[in-house]
């Protein structure tokens, strides 16, 4: 994926995450979509936590911050699991 595509995707995901945060289930609840992806952003090198109240979670790989865990936003908006997940060592 080239840099321009990454930036466009990140911009789209950020805008969508603001709206999706109101409609997505809580991060503590599990559903079939989250079970199938088995990704825990907290174990990824690209995951970070912000001090912003409205956008507490972020992903350095996609370049966005949002109200939900990034893997949930990516799965909901694109229908695919995160392609940039990299386990922390």
Summarised one tens digit per residue, pLDDT across range 36-83 is 456 889 999 999 999 999 999 999 999 999 999 999 988 888 888 889
Is residue 88 in some structural domain?
no
For the whole model, what pTM was predicted? 0.58
When divided into structural domains, the chain yields a total of: 1
C-beta separation of 66 from 18 below 8 A: yes
Considering the domain boundaries, does residue 89 fall inside one?
no
For residues 35 and 16, the model is more confident at 16
Given this model, what pLDDT does residue 19 score?
60
Tell me the mean pLDDT in the region 4-33: 62
- Long-range contacts: 76-80, Cβ < 8 Å, 24+? 76/20, 76/24, 76/33, 77/12, 77/13, 77/16, 77/17, 77/20
Domain that holds residue 13: 3-25+39-78
> Is residue 43 a part of any domain in this protein?
yes
């Amino acid at each position: 994926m080239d840099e321009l595509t990454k930036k466009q995707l990140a911009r789209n995901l950020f805008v969508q995450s603001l709206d999706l945060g109101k409609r997505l289930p809580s991060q503590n609840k599990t559903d079939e979509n989250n079970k199938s992806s088995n990704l825990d952003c907290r174990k990824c090198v690209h995951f970070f936590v912000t001090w912003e109240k409205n956008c507490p979670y972020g992903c350095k790989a996609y370049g966005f911050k949002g109200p939900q865990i990034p893997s949930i936003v990516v799965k909901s908006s694109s229908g695919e699991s995160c392609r940039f997940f990299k386990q922390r060592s």
